[in-house]
């Protein structure tokens, strides 16, 4: 059984938002919000990455769900 993982990790000097769903696919995105660069965190209730600074929300794969951010989280691969 594969476990869902949602975590912020350090990769060298970068912070990375890592998501692994039940299907096993691992998605790595920059943990920096594309609005002004705050570090996102996982919202377990809404199942998305949230920015604590201005409320932007991103899907597990980094796509913008709610602004003010207009660009998706950058790929960390």
| Number of alpha carbons in the 13 Å side-chain half-sphere of residue 14 | 14
**Contact between residue 57 and residue 43 where contact means Cβ atoms under 8 Å apart:** yes
Q: Give the residue numbers annotated as catalytic, written as ranges.
A: 35, 54
Distance CA 10, CA 56 (A): 21
**In residues, how long is the chain?**
77
């Amino acid at each position: 059984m594969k476990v869902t993982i949602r975590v912020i990790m350090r990769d060298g000097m970068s912070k990375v938002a890592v998501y692994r769903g039940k299907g096993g696919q691992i998605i790595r995105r920059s943990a920096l919000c594309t609005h002004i660069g705050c570090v996102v965190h996982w919202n377990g209730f809404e199942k998305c990455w949230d920015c604590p600074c201005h409320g932007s929300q991103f899907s597990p794969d980094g796509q913008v769900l709610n602004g003010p951010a207009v660009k998706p989280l950058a790929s960390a691969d």
